[in-house]
Amino acid sequence: MSRPAGVAPAPPRPGQGERLFNALTCPKEFRRFLQKEGAEGHCEGMAAVVLWTAAFDLLESTLA
């Protein structure tokens, strides 16, 4: 993979996100979403704003 990637851990499967992140050889960023941000539950479903803000921040920094 040669395109930049963003990876977040998968709560139902601990360690899965970290393994994917470590296997990637492209430019990458690991973002852990925290309960204190309101980002809890599968796919940060309880804090869509936090998830999408992080996603668009990554896109903005990648495309700049």
Q: What is the pLDDT of residue 10?
A: 62
User: Looking at residue 29, what is its pLDDT?
Assistant: 87
How many domains is the chain built from? 1
The CA distance from 25 to 1, in Å, is: 7
The two three-digit tokens of residue 39, written as one number: 């980002």
Q: Answer whether 0.85 is exceeded by the pTM.
A: no
- DSSP reduced 3-state for 33: coil
> 19: closest CA among 33, 9, 11?
9
pLDDT single digits (tens) 22-31: 998 988 888 8
pLDDT tens per residue across span 33-61: 887 887 766 666 667 888 888 889 988 98
Give me the domain span that covers residue 49.
5-63
